[in-house]
Structures are given as C-alpha cells and as structure tokens.
Amino acid sequence: MPLPHAKCILLAAVLACTAAGARCADLTADERAAGWKLLFDGTTTSGWHRIGKNERPGNAWIAQDGELKLVKTLGVTGGGDIVTDEMFEDFELIWEWKIAPDGNSGVKYNLPDPSRAIGCEYQLLDDAKNSDAKVHNRTHVTASLYDMFAPPPDAKLNPAGEWNMGRIVVQGNHVEHYLNGVKVVSYDFGSDVFQKAMAESKFKEAPGWGIKTKSSILLQDHNSEVSFRNVRIRPGY
C-alpha cells in the first residue's frame, strides 16, 4: 500500500537529514497537522524519566548537539533505562540512532509492567562485532523483534559510529519493524506463528508479555554508548 502523503514527506525529510548529517529536531506545520509529535526536543531530556522511578534521567543521559546520548565515560553515573512520560498503544515511531563499536541497546514498547524493562524490543546492535549477533538464529541482530523474529540477512545496516534510521509501526495486533526505510520484520500479536516463537523464547513465562497493551517507549541502557536523534511519533496510527 502506498504511504500517505504526509508520511512520505516525513520519511523523506528524516532520510535527508541522515544523509546530510543534519539535526532536524522540529516538525513542519504539515507534520504536526498529520499528528506527529517529538519525543525528544533536541536540547533537554524533558518528557523522559527513569523506568520505575519518578525522576528525570540521570547524568549519563545527556542532550547535546541535537542528540540524546547515553555516555559511558569513566566516572559518569546515572544511566539506566529511560521511558517516555506519555504512553502509547497504536503508533508509528521513527528515530535515528548510532551505536559504539561492539555496542548493544534497544528500543522497547508494549511493556506489560510499567516498572519493568520487559517488553517487545527493536534490537540495536553492532552486528559486526557484538557476539549477540551470532546466536539464537539471528533473532538478536539489529531490527529483530528480540529473541523472536529476525530480519532478512540482506537488511542494510550502517556500521557502528554511523547513523541508522529505525521505524516501528503498531496498528491493532499488527506490528512492523523497518531499518533504513525497508520493512524487515512483520508479525501479529496472538497469531499461531507468534505464539510458537514466544513458546521457544525467553519470554515464554513472562507475565503479560506479547499481549497488546498501552505503554511507554523505552530506550535501553545495555552498558554501551548510544545516541538518538529525530525521535518522533504519530499516535493512533
């Protein structure tokens, strides 16, 4: 199905920013009219808090140069997973990210317990160097539904230290993961295929996991430096 015009405009704009190395922490009037909103304003950590705590992100999460960065410099503390103040059910999420060599992180959604970092994860990884990319039938590589469904082997991933674009679409029970503009994972909550994969995953006994729910969006601290920018969402997709 062709993308609606407003979505084409947004994807083209974000891809243009990526190609140019630009920072685009703003929305056009057309994008706002189409229902898009920023989850990161480019200058502060406003709108985010530490998961399970009523407090802002710690010192390791910094807003700098239009990026939301998790830094792992010696002596810097106050990391941990962070989540959006707002909760979402059906949505389209677009963001850019880059990760340090051998790095591991993720974007999580559909968290059954808002105080715990257990949910559906769009994996972010240095596939070339991190050993996690070589296990579990590739269900731990970038853009996978972590430990469940892998992207195709020819999915285009830019190397560590370079920007990539992620996209998650959730509409009803149907979910899609995109990497650099290409759909790489597609699944349906509750389907036979989903239930079989879940029964063989580490989530098989996790209460509420894999049941469609309204939740925050989570950025993971997996002890690796990672940066995010142009983080935007269209609720009610």
DSSP 28-46: -HHHHHTT-EES--SS--T
pLDDT of residue 22: 46
- State how far the Cα of 151 lies from the Cα of 107, in Å rounded to an integer: 16
Three-state SS for 198? helix
CB 18 within 8 A of CB 181: no
Q: Give the pLDDT of the chain (237 residues) as one tens digit per residue.
A: 444 544 554 555 555 454 444 455 689 999 999 999 999 999 999 999 999 999 999 899 999 999 999 999 877 888 999 999 999 999 999 999 999 999 999 999 999 999 999 999 999 999 999 999 999 999 999 999 999 999 999 999 999 999 999 999 999 999 999 999 999 999 999 999 999 999 999 999 999 999 999 999 999 999 999 999 999 999 997
Give 149-152 contacts, CB < 8 A, sequence gap 24+.
149/185, 149/187, 149/197, 150/185, 151/177, 151/179, 151/184, 151/185, 152/184
Q: What is the dihedral of CA 213, 214, 216, 218, to 10 degrees?
A: 20
Q: For residue 15, what is the DSSP state?
A: H
CA angle 20, 22, 23 (to 5 degrees): 160
pLDDT of residue 12: 52
pLDDT of residue 81: 97
pLDDT of residue 3: 45
